[in-house]
């Protein structure tokens, strides 16, 4: 088991462990020496078991995806391991080894820390990093000239602004770390808080590189309310949905109003038609005053005569009974 613990993709290491650095997008390669040869060569993530075994071979060279190994016999037995196109998730614990069998291989443990950027001083713009609370940040600062004194500072390096000050290749003070490897000074901050936002400097014997960090609250899952039927309201953002709801309400109101108007109009037309039919029926009979309507059928109509040549006279002019009898007086020329 490794004594190393992983936190947010960046490992915490002990002084006894071998530590190597890399940069996102770059390639990692390191060689490890062994006192005795081995037929089996292994390269693993954490412990060499199950899916953690990246390569397990008897060949001198082997590759699986982004991982590869190469075995050489020089004055000593050297096994080189490589990872291409590093990502932040490649930070962590690894092991490699030689042995007569995969179960009896002699393993060497090491840790890889992948920096998010490599500052070489050629960019005039200040490098800016956006991070979330609880995460970690590692930045590599490349220097052309080697140096002994290594500093990691908040702002300018002076007084209480100095976070780590060492002449060693590795040093740690609380949440702040320094690692030096092949002309690159790596500085790290673990368990970031919002108060860590600000400007930082890595310093190596008279030269320095600056960068800016902004730490914001980590985005969590949407809050849900249990045991309540009251929906939550979003006070910020788009108003498109309320506007659609209002438009739908207006449209529904217009449709209902039109339906009511159509129904009322149909009823009105129906009533008028009924009244007209009733009035036509009444015109075929005498009214209450005994006046005869023009469409009355006359029983004593003389054939061959016209309506214009016929004179009609009531036999009982004074009578107002509905059953009056009429006779026809034919006028002969």
For position 191, what pLDDT does the model report? 96
- For the entire predicted model, the pTM comes to 0.59
For position 280, what pLDDT does the model report? 61
For position 281, what pLDDT does the model report? 56
For position 139, what pLDDT does the model report? 96
For position 245, what pLDDT does the model report? 55
For position 16, what pLDDT does the model report? 55
Confidence band (pLDDT; 50, 70, 90) for 182? confident
For position 286, what pLDDT does the model report? 47
Q: Is the pLDDT of residue 68 over 60?
A: yes
- CA distances 87 to 41, 93, 123, 181, Å, are 24, 14, 22, 19
Q: Is the pLDDT of residue 308 over 80?
A: no
Q: Establish whether domains 5-114 and 117-216 are of one fold.
A: yes
pLDDT tens for 193-209 read: 999 999 999 999 889 99
For position 20, what pLDDT does the model report? 93
For position 305, what pLDDT does the model report? 47
Q: Is the pLDDT of residue 86 over 90?
A: yes
HEC string of 15-77 equals CCCEEEEEECCCCEEEEEEECCCCCEEEEEECCCCHHHEEEEECCCEEEECCEEEEEEECCCE
**Higher model confidence: residue 228 or residue 242?**
242
The share of the chain scoring above pLDDT 90, in percent, equals 49
Q: Is the pLDDT of residue 299 over 80?
A: no
Q: What is the DSSP string of 229-267?
A: -PPP---SS--HHHHHHHHHHHHHHHHHHHHHHHHHHHH
CATH topology of domain 5-114: Immunoglobulin-like (2.60.40)
CATH topology of domain 117-216: Immunoglobulin-like (2.60.40)
- Expressed in percent and rounded to 5, the helix, strand and coil fractions of the chain are 15, 40, 45
For position 124, what pLDDT does the model report? 78
**Higher model confidence: residue 232 or residue 141?**
141
Q: Is the CA virtual torsion 286, 291, 293, 299 positive or negative?
A: positive
Q: Is the pLDDT of residue 287 over 60?
A: no
For position 1, what pLDDT does the model report? 29
Q: Is the pLDDT of residue 234 over 70?
A: no
For position 275, what pLDDT does the model report? 78
pLDDT tens for 206-222 read: 899 999 999 999 876 54
Which whole number is the average pLDDT over 161-173? 95
Let me know how long the chain is: 333
For the chain, what are the domain ranges? 5-114, 117-216
For position 44, what pLDDT does the model report? 95
Q: What is the mean pLDDT of the chain?
A: 78
Confidence band (pLDDT; 50, 70, 90) for 121? confident
């Amino acid at each position: 088991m490794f004594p190393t613990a992983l936190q947010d993709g960046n490992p915490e290491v002990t002084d006894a462990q071998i530590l190597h650095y890399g940069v996102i997008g770059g390639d990692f390669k390191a060689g490890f020496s062994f006192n005795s040869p081995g037929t089996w060569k292994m390269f693993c993530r954490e412990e060499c078991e199950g899916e953690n075994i990246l390569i397990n071979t008897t060949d001198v060279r082997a590759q699986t995806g982004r991982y590869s190994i190469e075995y050489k016999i020089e004055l000593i037995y050297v096994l080189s391991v490589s990872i291409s196109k590093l990502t932040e998730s490649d930070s962590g614990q690894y092991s490699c080894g030689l042995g007569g069998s995969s179960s009896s291989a002699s393993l060497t443990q090491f840790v890889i820390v992948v920096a998010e950027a490599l500052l070489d001083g050629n960019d005039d713009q200040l490098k800016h990093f956006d991070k979330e609370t609880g995460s970690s940040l590692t930045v590599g600062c490349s220097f052309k000239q080697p140096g002994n004194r290594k500093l990691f500072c908040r702002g300018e390096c002076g007084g209480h602004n100095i976070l780590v000050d060492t002449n060693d290749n590795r040093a740690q003070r609380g949440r702040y770390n320094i690692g030096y490897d092949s002309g690159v000074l790596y500085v790290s901050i673990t368990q970031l808080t919002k108060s860590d936002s600000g400007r930082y400097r890595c310093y190596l014997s008279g030269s320095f590189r600056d960068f800016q960090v902004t730490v914001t609250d980590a985005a969590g899952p949407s809050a849900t309310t249990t045991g309540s039927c009251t929906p939550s309201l979003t006070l910020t953002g788009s108003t498109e949905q309320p506007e659609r709801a209002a438009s739908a309400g207006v449209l529904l109101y217009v449709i209902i109003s039109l339906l009511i108007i159509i129904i009322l109009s149909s009823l009105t037309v129906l009533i008028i038609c009924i009244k007209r039919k009733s009035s036509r029926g009444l015109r075929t009979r005498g009214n209450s005053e005994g006046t005869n309507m023009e469409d009355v059928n006359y029983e004593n109509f003389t054939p061959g005569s016209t309506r214009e040549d016929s004179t009609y006279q009531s036999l009982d002019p004074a009578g107002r009974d509905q059953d009056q009898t009429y006779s026809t007086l034919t006028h002969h020329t």
